Structure 1
Amino acid sequence: MRKILGDPATGANYNTTWVGTRAGEFLDRAMAARAADGTPFFMEFDPTAPHLHDEQNTARNMTEPKYRNLAVPGCAAPTVESDRTDKPAYVQAFPLTDPYSYGVICPVAQRTLRSLDDWFGATIDRLTAAGQLDQTLIVFTSDNGLMYGEHGLSRKYVPYEPSVRVPLMLAYPGVFAPGTTAAANASRALVSNIDILPTILSVTGTPVNPALPKIDGVSLVAKPAGHKVVLSEYWGDPRWAPSVPAPIPTWSALYDRRWTFAITYDTAGRAVTQELYDRVRDPKELTNLIPLRAGATSSTYDVPRWTARLNAERRCAGASGARMCH
């Protein structure tokens, strides 16, 4: 473990560099095999960055020495609503401000990503030098976002944009490249991580096995604009309850390019709270537009329609048929 974490004083065997070197060695072998007999290759690189190694000494242990003093953007104190009574109880349990999250964790996390940028650039150079770049599908994404004090929160696991929105970048000549339909849709495409598998199958010409469970996602080759709505879900995990001011409950949420609608549930699966945000007029999701109690109606917004729409997406199966996911 010490070798992987690296020497914080010198940066020797720094995590991203050490694991990236091993990944590069694998890639060299894989590309040599492909050049020899056409064997395809697959590599998944999952760096520790920007996760914490040591919260007690974050600035020292997390960042590669050459980037420790790097100025980074986007880590200012967020706007936090002074009245959070329109949000679930777990949100209200967090302190209104969390300077540690945006003042320490945010800049450190961004600095660790500079090392990841270095590795990614070196990987592109490696593929180019071997003549494999134009034959390789590249997928760049993340598993979750993180709250840096928005709404007073400092975790993932929540339905608000900083937690659920992640990058998804694809590159493949003639398909995901400048001048393609996908490129024209890239900035507005509404996509999800469930689309990665069908997209890879489409690019590689691999048929879907009908004996396997239905795939809910869509191929972004066939549907580069993605979905009409995206479903996000979280199931409350009691193992994390002691580490936060209040347990984060199970929830589900929809986003359709303008509106976010979310419901929380108790341990028996009964709806407890509901939230609706206009992401055009209120991009920071500060004002819940409907009564907080689940099932309560609004004279302005069609809550039953939103609830039915969310329930339908929770029950959907597959990208076609009567119960298709949208």
Structure 2
Amino acid sequence: MADNVLWIISDDQPRSTLRSMDRTWTRLVEKGVRFRRGYTAMPWCGPARASILTSRYPHDHGCPDNQTHQPFVAQGHDRDTVATRIRGAGYDTGYFGKYMNGLGEDPEYVAPGWGRWVATVGKRGQVNVDGELRDLDGQRPADAFAAERLRTFVERHRDTGPWFAVWGPSIPHDPYRPSAEHRHDFDGVTWDPPALNEADMSDKPSWLRGLPAQDPDRMRDVREGKLEELRDLDDEIGRLLDVLWRTDQLSRTWVFFVSDNGYLLGEHRLFRKEQPYEESAGIPYVVRGPGVAPGTSSAFVSQVDLMPTALDIAGLDPDEGRELSGRSMLQPLRTGDWSSWRRRLLVENTNLDWAMLREGSEAYVEHHETDEWELYDLAADPHQLASIADADVTEQSALVTAMRQARGRALRDLEE
């Protein structure tokens, strides 16, 4: 029987919080591959999710802001996604939880390709179940409802298959409402990273230099809320893995755990996401699957790699019909050999008009609207405290310009 594929997409999760999820660490991270250099395509919820579903970068899918659903559908992108393609390989499909920002304006919508549709809509107490809008009236959180339906979906496939499912919990997105069981787990947690309220901002783009300092107590409170909500997500992941194990499906199921974006908590005087710094653009990225040797990898991986990998697992040619901008991770995951993988990676924000090139230990960022740039050596300066002002960035700039205009195989060629 063909392998199942499960994507878990958390919401606004900093890469640094992964270690706080004990069950996830023991049962996914330690039994799979953790990527130190996993990145979002664009560090903002809606555009990132559009990239995940289509293996298109934002400059290609043309959905630049967080009201993503409407332009995504208007351009017909929902008719060519991982779901519509993988069904061609005989996979049953299901979507559970947060789909795409803007869905609240079209609450009865069901995306093509999904055999089961349990999408949370707008507020946390409302869900769309296969086109029928339900109000949970506070009986239980919508996230818990979606997770329960996902477990039922998995149970029903114990003797059938294969299946592909996406689970998108709205954790750890604000407002933070951890359960009674976990709401005091991180009381008094400290938060004092080296880049918090960075003192010398002279190396940063001009618009950043006059930013006031963030309230460190507020940043600590947000960190606490995220960590406590992630304990709830950790519990749900444990329940889901229990179902996979109990139904003899865990050994033939690929599990991918990522976030839509990271999150800044006062680093460089910034709060939230959207910016080209590691805390915002970097995401947790873990893969567990049949035959995958546990370990860590320094390969550059992106959200756009999820779709081609899923299609490859299903036995499909990822480029059939439309060339994808991501790469299948299947072979290197199975062999552990990443020597032929991409050398460089693009991250961008088409709304704020910046693009970042990651190559080796370097992070090069171009701010096109203000014609400014930053360059960091993350090996020597992991917290991005001092941009290298006297560097010759001609080559990096030319690569960024070319990559911002490319898609599919042409973009992948530029990564070599």
Match of 2:327 in 1: 218
Q: Distance in 1 between the 2:264 and 2:149 partners?
A: 31
Task: Give the total of aligned pairs.
Answer: 276
Unpaired segments ≥5 residues, structure 1: 6-10, 237-248, 291-297
Distance 1:39 1:81, change over 3 A: closer
Match of 1:42 in 2: 164
Q: Distance in 1 between the 2:317 and 2:239 partners?
A: 33
With the length of structure 1 as denominator, give the TM-score of the two structures.
Answer: 0.77
Alignment of 1:204-215 (within 5 A): 204-208=314-318, 210-212=320-322, 214-215=323-324
Shift of 1:12: 6.3
With the length of structure 2 as denominator, give the TM-score of the two structures.
Answer: 0.61
CA root-mean-square deviation: 2.5
Distance 1:86 1:101, change over 3 A: same
Q: Tell me the SS of whatever aligns to 2:386.
A: coil
Q: Distance in 2 between the 1:49 and 1:220 partners?
A: 26
Q: 1:177 aligns with which of 280, 293, 302?
A: 293
Shift of 1:119: 0.6
Question: Is 1:113 aligned with 2:223?
Answer: no
Q: Distance in 2 between the 1:22 and 1:48 partners?
A: 15
Q: Could you list the per-position Cα deviations for residues 262-316 of structure 1 after superposition, in whole angstroms to 9, with x for gaps in the alignment?
A: 01122xxxx61100011111110011112xxxxxxx3xx2211121122232233
Match of 1:251 in 2: 354
Shift of 1:75: 4.8
Q: Distance in 1 between the 2:384 and 2:332 partners?
A: 29
Q: Distance in 2 between the 1:75 and 1:219 partners?
A: 39
Q: 1:202 aligns with which of 312, 336, 339?
A: 312
Of all paired residues, the percent bearing the same amino acid is 29
Distance 1:73 1:158, change over 3 A: farther
Q: 1:284 aligns with which of 355, 379, 383?
A: 383
Question: Is 1:67 aligned with 2:167?
Answer: no
Shift of 1:76: 0.9
What residue identity is the alignment partner of 2:325? D
Q: Distance in 1 between the 2:354 and 2:411 partners?
A: 26
Q: Distance in 1 between the 2:155 and 2:285 partners?
A: 25
Larger Rg over CA atoms: 1
CA contact (8 A) 1:199 1:218 kept: yes
Shift of 1:25: 2.1
Unpaired segments ≥5 residues, structure 2: 1-122, 128-137
Question: Is 1:316 aligned with 2:409?
Answer: no
CA contact (8 A) 1:97 1:149 kept: yes
Give every structure 1 segment of 4 or more consecutive aligned residues whose post-TM-superposition deviation is greater than 3 Å: 1-5, 72-75, 319-326
Alignment of 1:257-296 (within 5 A): 257-266=360-369, 272-290=371-389
CA contact (8 A) 2:399 2:414 kept: no
Shift of 1:73: 9.4
Distance 1:278 1:163, change over 3 A: same
Match of 2:242 in 1: 125
Shift of 1:89: 2.9
| Higher percent of residues as strand | 2
Deviates more, 1:197-206 or 1:69-78: 69-78
CA contact (8 A) 2:263 2:272 kept: yes
What residue identity is the alignment partner of 1:273? E
Shift of 1:108: 0.4
Shift of 1:26: 2.4
Distance 1:23 1:210, change over 3 A: closer
